[in-house]
Amino acid sequence: MAEQLILKGTLEGHADGDAFCRMAGSPAWLPPWRSTTIPTFLFTSDPPYLATAAADVDFREKDGILRNGQRLGRPAHPNMLLSASRDKTLIIWNLTRDESQYGYPKRSLKGHSHIVSDCVISSDGAYALSASWDKTLRLWELATGTTTRRFVGHTNDVLSVSFSADNRQIVSGSRDRTIKLWNTLGDCKYTISEKGHSEWVSCVRFSPNPQNPVIVSSGWDKLVKVWELSTCKLQTDHIGHTGYINTVTISPDGSLCASGGKDGTTMLWDLNESKHLYSLNANDEIHALVFSPNRYWLCAATASSIIIFDLEKKSKVDELKPEFTAVGKKSREPECVSLAWSADGQTLFAGYTDNIIRAWGVMSRA
């Protein structure tokens, strides 16, 4: 590995909780086994999704968004980061990238009455979605920090939420074992229950590939399910995990899906051919997964460290574990529970259970 990740700074602001991160993808990314040369990458330079102090993080570096090679717009706020937390709030951050203070809270978004478990930013950087244990979703206007829509319909905690690539559809997953498809007006258009998960729905994601419009979900029933977006019917059951699944992530081109959870194994799935490709062993419970937007890396947040897998080599090439200050004999080291890449692929944001987001920068090895 000619490059390594170095801790560059931290962000602190939430009062309580775990931190979760995610970011917008890169449509020109190609699977390593389908290209013998390194392709030219197109980046979305809108903030990645990021949640601090607890729940989920969405970050966007906003100097314009590229979708399938076309610039769709210029976000209004450069260097914006969004975080969500167990303290029931979301925070909009302004990134300074200063090592002493990597960013500062710009605005707090309040409205949920329970833990905020997930958040995501629209591709134009104007809106955010949040999911909460109060059984609702909220759509936020980021310029004002106000709730524009409240989504009611789930009968248990909402664990995951995602925007479609065109921002017109929303999908959510819940402990009520259902997946719901919504429009942006707050209307539930379809509830997926037939052939659905038999346990909690832990994660839901839209594929960014317009040629294969699907939703991918994971559950505590040890299954990864792929749904046809047009019909909301089950396309594929991916079977192989031996423990509950916490997370799924989709590659920037929509060709691959990775899943991970209790069994400590990351499984790679081909979404175009509906088959299992191979597995990577993380040796510990996996909380979060994210593909790099411009390298053939898959990053796994585990109970003990962050592991960087090289998809060409199909092996671990780096492991990230910051130094923690021990507090008491029985204290547990904070765990990374969320990951998000910056759009240029140079910074990996990691949310931890000590309410801190840590920023890791890509550096060339000496």
Residues 6+ apart with CB under 8 A from 178: 154, 191, 192, 193, 196, 201
Whole-angstrom Cα distance, residue 12 to residue 3?
Answer: 27
Residue-wise pLDDT for 225-266, tens only, equals 999 999 999 999 999 999 999 999 999 999 999 999 999 999
> Strand pairing partners for 182?
170, 188
Q: Which domains does the chain have, with CATH numbers?
A: 3-364 (2.130.10.10)
**Residue of 222, 215, 270, 225 lying closest to 246 (CA atoms):** 222
Looking at residue 211, the DSSP 8-state letter turns out to be T
Alpha carbon distance 280, 56 (integer Å): 24
Burial of 6 (0-12, 13-18, 19+ CB in 10 A): exposed
Note the pTM of the prediction, 2 decimals.
0.85
Over the chain (366 residues), what is each successive 10-residue block's mean pLDDT? 87 71 44 38 30 44 33 47 86 86 90 94 89 97 95 98 94 98 96 95 95 96 97 96 97 95 98 96 96 94 96 95 72 86 86 88 84
Tokens standing for 361? Answer: 């920068």
At 339, phi and psi to the nearest 5? -140, 145
Segment 283-328, tens digit of pLDDT: 999 999 999 988 999 999 999 999 999 999 999 999 999 887 766 6
Beta strand extents in 111-168 (DSSP E only): 116-121, 127-132, 136-141, 146-152, 158-163
Q: Report the alpha-carbon distance of residue 232 to residue 248 in Å, rounded.
A: 18
| CA distances in angstroms from 45 to 179, 342, 364, listed in the order given | 30, 8, 22
